[in-house]
Homo-oligomer: A and B are copies of this chain.
Amino acid sequence: MARAPRLGPYICGIDAALDVVSGKWKGLILWELDAHGVRRFAELRRGLPGVSEKMLTQHLREMETDGLVHREVYAEVPPRVEYSLTEHGRTLNRALAPLGAWGVERIRREGHETVDAAEPSHL
- Asked if A95 contacts B91 (CB within 8 A), the reply is no
**With a CB–CB cut-off of 8 A, which chain B residues contact A88?**
106
Chain A interface mostly: helix
Partner of A115, one of B9, B22, B97: B9
Hey, what's the 0/1 contact readout for A26-41 against B, CB within 8 Å counting as 1?
0110110000000000
- Asked if B13 contacts A102 (CB within 8 A), the reply is yes
**With a CB–CB cut-off of 8 A, which chain B residues contact A17?**
99-100, 102-103, 106
Hey, what's the 0/1 contact readout for A71-104 against B, CB within 8 Å counting as 1?
0000000000000000010011011111111111
Interface centre among A9, A14, A120, A123 (most CB of B within 10 A): A14
- Asked if A16 contacts B103 (CB within 8 A), the reply is yes
- If A20-B106, A96-B99, A102-B91 touch, does A123 touch B27 (CB 8 Å cutoff)? no
Is there a chain B Cβ closer than 8 Å to A107's Cβ?
A: yes
CB of A9 to closest CB in B, whole Å: 4
Q: Which residues of chain A from 49 to 87 have any CB-CB distance to chain B below 8 Å in the complex?
A: 49
- Asked if B103 contacts A13 (CB within 8 A), the reply is yes
Partner of A15, one of B8, B13, B27: B27
**With a CB–CB cut-off of 8 A, which chain B residues contact A105?**
13, 91
